[in-house]
């Protein structure tokens, strides 16, 4: 499997984030307009939390809070687990699976450089399988095996 660095090269490079004092309605608007499901919460250049669509639904709507006035600090998952560009996609998949995460922020030298999602891992696995199939087909054809 490839590394997080390889994965980030295939992405836009845009980091979607808001501050902890921004409102839930702002994060929902960002999610909708960018077709994303999770946003990092960054204050003064430091990752302080994560907010997902589920956080908005469960912690705001079900709790009867006003999304226009509820700050992200009230619903975010603080101090999220992170990965580095040198981690493998395999290790990310294991972490996501065992900890029930769908997104992992990528941090290098204390700076957020991107995010890896379950979708990224699925795309990586599909690509790896395609490459493996091509390799096997070439091997079979090259050796006259039918």
Task: Give me the domains of the chain, ranges plus CATH numbers.
Answer: 4-142 (3.10.580.10)
DSSP code of 71?
A: B
Q: Which residues touch 83 (CB under 8 Å, ≥6 apart)?
A: 4, 91, 92, 95, 104, 105, 106, 107, 116
In this predicted structure, the answer to whether residue 79 has a pLDDT above a threshold of 90 is yes
pLDDT one-digit tens code per residue, 20-59: 999 999 999 999 999 999 999 999 999 999 999 999 999 9
CA trace torsion 15, 19, 22, 25 (10° rounding): 30
For residue 67, the model assigns a pLDDT of: 97
CA distance 51 to 37: 9
Residues 104-145: pLDDT tens digits?
A: 999 999 899 999 999 999 888 887 776 667 777 777 777 655
């Amino acid at each position: 499997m490839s590394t997080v660095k390889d994965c980030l090269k295939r992405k836009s490079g845009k980091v979607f984030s808001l501050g902890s004092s921004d409102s839930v309605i702002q994060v929902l608007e960002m999610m909708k307009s960018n077709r994303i499901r999770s946003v990092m919460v960054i204050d003064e250049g430091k990752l302080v939390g994560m907010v997902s669509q589920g956080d908005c639904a469960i912690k705001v709507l079900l709790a009867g809070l006003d999304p226009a006035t509820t700050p992200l600090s009230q619903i975010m998952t603080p101090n999220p687990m992170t990965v580095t560009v040198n981690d493998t996609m395999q290790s990310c998949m294991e972490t996501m699976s065992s900890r029930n995460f769908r997104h992992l922020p990528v941090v290098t030298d204390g700076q957020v450089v991107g995010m890896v999602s379950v979708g990224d891992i699925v795309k990586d696995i599909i690509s790896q399988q395609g490459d493996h199939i091509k390799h096997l087909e070439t091997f079979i054809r090259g050796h006259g095996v039918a």
